[in-house]
Amino acid sequence: MALSPVSTSFTAQPNGSAFGINAYGPDFIEVNGARFNSSLLVRSDVGPVELHGLSAESLQARHMEMLVQWGPEIVLVGTGSRQKFLSPAVMAPMLSQRIGVECMTLAAACRTFNLLASEGRKTAAFLLFDRLAAILPTADPALISSLHKD
């Protein structure tokens, strides 16, 4: 199942977090009015970080390790147009800390992120596009590590 060619927009959540996903389409994600055309890491309390070239296939345990310090309740992984499951080794840093990891399509991850963040849940989401893995270099996990500083 591919993302619809029609973009989807959301309305603001009254009890929302500092950051929310306003819209998404087959080649973009809009967070707080800013449009991005690359994979993202979004947290409910910190602005999005672009993860050029990161895909479900290139996501590694070291990317997850960077989020452990922040201590999210749940990490969503939007795997593009199709749901893909991560290997247990990739999820191990989160699971060892009893932090849930849920894999779903990119569209479902965008909707779920907004729902959980609007409930005040400490949520993070890797929002990954299909096409980037082949055309851009892999994202540096140092970008993610800078986010744990509050």
- What is the pTM assigned to this prediction? 0.78
Per-residue pLDDT of the chain (150 residues; tens, 9 = 90+): 444 444 444 444 444 567 899 999 888 999 999 999 999 999 999 889 999 889 999 999 999 998 999 999 999 999 999 999 999 999 999 999 999 999 999 999 999 999 999 999 999 999 999 864 434 445 555 544 554 444
pLDDT at 53: 87
Residue 26 CA to residue 29 CA, distance in Å, equals 9
CATH value of 17-148 in 3.40.50.2300, 3.40.1230.10, 3.40.50.1010, 3.40.50.300: 3.40.1230.10
Contact (CB, 8 A) for 48 and 125: no
How many residues are there in the chain? 150
The Cα–Cα gap between 147 and 149 comes to 5
Question: Residue 114: which of 78, 65, 70 has the closest Cα?
Answer: 78
CA 98, 149, 43, 119 torsion-angle sign: positive
What pLDDT is stored for residue 22 in this prediction?
94
Provide the pLDDT for residue 18: 79
Written as one letter, the residue type at 22 is: N
